[in-house]
């Protein structure tokens, strides 16, 4: 899918993470793109706090790869660089512009690790680079899936490939030796917060050879995202927005009403299938291949 790319000026591409040990052990944040065309009705990145105007339009950063190379070359610590915390790095324009692939080539050149969040099968295009990066540093791919039901996913995430295809992407990554799992976030109260959904998400993660499945068992609704989300769920489920307002009001964090029970159920299902689900255990598992001393010896 081709299209016109608009560029925005920037001085930096990569920033140091202040919560790496809390979120998949990442050391640096990077968003090569701004905005997203997936149309997910729950997306927290629509919030004004991220200062992304016209979020449904995909833009990139001017001279992104040149700036990135300068930043990578200047870093002493070759840590894990996170792609896609705000905008999917494999969006509708990436196939044509290859900015994410260019960044991965630089990551590989300078010996950094990589953490990728995506809903796209285009990540499979870059398996060759991910394998090379994983030889010298750490790689973790998180396939974002909210529900195992394709029809429900289609209305919640109208321009994303089906959940079934995303599980197939996961399986292909794993068959190629890439460390990968499922990011089951958000969990939408009254919609995807059922034992049936949790059970099948864990089952399918295991069936497709996931290393892990992670969830926060809830969602965030920033004040300026409320109206967008409520408008869309009201179209899907008449009266549901009133239930949200009654239960959560203007709360930022919206956990399911049965949060403790569902979280316990989730952990039991993960244990049943021998899947990692604890953040600290996931970090320990995927980072076990390289230590600081080993990294220093490489460079």
Domain ranges of the chain: 9-137
Q: Cα(259)–Cα(5) distance, rounded to whole angstroms? A: 42
Q: What is the DSSP string of 125-144?
A: GGHHHHHHHHHHS-EEEEEE
Check residue 55 and give its pLDDT: 75
Q: What is the DSSP letter of 33?
A: E
Note the pLDDT of residue 148.
98
pLDDT at 292: 44
Which pLDDT does position 3 carry in this prediction? 66
Q: Which helix (H) or strand (E) holds 83?
A: strand 80-83
CB 66 within 8 A of CB 52: no
Tens of each residue's pLDDT in the chain, 299 residues: 456 778 888 888 998 887 656 789 999 999 898 888 898 999 887 777 666 677 778 888 889 999 999 999 999 899 999 998 778 999 989 999 999 999 999 999 999 999 999 999 999 999 999 999 999 999 999 999 999 999 999 999 999 999 999 999 999 999 999 999 999 999 999 999 999 999 999 999 999 999 999 999 999 988 778 888 999 999 999 999 999 999 998 888 999 999 999 999 999 999 999 999 999 999 999 997 555 445 544 44
Taking 3-state DSSP, the helix, strand and coil percentages for the chain, each rounded to the nearest 5, stand at: 45, 15, 40
The confidence score (pLDDT) of residue 293 equals: 42
pLDDT of residue 223: 73
Between the alpha carbon of residue 231 and those of residues 41, 54, 226, 228, 237, the distances in Å are 9, 18, 8, 5, 10
Q: Distance from CA of residue 79 to its chain's centroid?
A: 18
> How far apart (Å, rounded) are the C-alpha atoms in residues 166 and 299?
36
Residue 266: both structure tokens together: 């989730």
Q: What are residue 86's phi and psi, to 5 degrees?
A: -115, -35
State the first-to-last Cα distance of the chain, in angstroms, to the nearest integer.
39
Helix ranges restricted to H, the chain: 64-74, 94-97, 99-109, 127-136, 150-156, 163-175, 195-207, 226-236, 240-248, 259-272, 279-286, 292-298
pLDDT value of residue 206 = 98
Q: Does the pTM of the predicted model rise above 0.85?
A: yes
Give the pair of three-digit tokens for residue 229.
Answer: 């989300």
Predicted pLDDT at 290: 57
Q: How far apart are the C-alpha atoms of 6 and 56, rounded to whole Å? A: 13
> 80, 112 in Cβ contact below 8 A?
yes
Distance CA(164)–CA(40), nearest Å, equals 17
How far is the C-alpha of 65 from the C-alpha of 71, rounded, in Å? Answer: 10
Rounded Cα distance between 214 and 184, Å, is 6
CB 229 within 8 A of CB 189: no
């Amino acid at each position: 899918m081709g299209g016109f790319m608009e560029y925005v000026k920037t001085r930096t591409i990569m920033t140091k993470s202040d919560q790496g040990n809390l979120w998949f052990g990442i050391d640096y944040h990077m968003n090569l793109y701004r905005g997203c065309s997936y149309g997910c009705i729950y997306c927290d990145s629509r919030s004004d706090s991220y200062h992304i105007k016209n979020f449904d339009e995909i833009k990139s950063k001017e001279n992104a790869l040149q700036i990135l190379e300068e930043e990578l070359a200047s870093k002493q610590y070759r840590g894990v660089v996170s792609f896609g915390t705000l905008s999917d790095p494999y969006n509708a324009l990436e196939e044509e512009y290859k900015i994410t692939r260019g960044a991965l080539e630089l990551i590989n050149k300078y010996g950094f690790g990589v953490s990728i969040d995506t809903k796209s099968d285009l990540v499979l295009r870059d398996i060759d680079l991910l394998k090379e990066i994983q030889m010298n540093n750490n790689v973790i791919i998180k396939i974002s899936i909210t529900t195992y039901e394709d029809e429900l996913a289609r209305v919640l995430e109208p321009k994303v490939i089906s959940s079934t295809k995303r599980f197939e992407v996961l399986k292909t990554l794993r068959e190629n030796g890439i460390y990968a799992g499922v990011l089951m976030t958000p969990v939408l109260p009254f919609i995807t917060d059922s034992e049936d959904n949790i059970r099948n998400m864990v089952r399918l993660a295991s069936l497709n050879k996931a290393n892990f499945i992670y969830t926060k068992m809830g969602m965030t609704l920033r004040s300026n995202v409320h109206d967008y989300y409520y408008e869309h769920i009201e179209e899907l489920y008449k009266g549901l927005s009133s239930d949200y307002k009654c239960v959560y009001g203007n709360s930022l964090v919206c956990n399911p009403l049965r949060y403790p029970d569902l979280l316990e159920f989730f952990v039991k299902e993960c244990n049943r299938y021998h899947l990692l689900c604890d953040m600290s255990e996931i970090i320990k598992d995927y980072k076990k291949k390289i230590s600081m001393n080993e990294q220093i010896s490489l460079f």
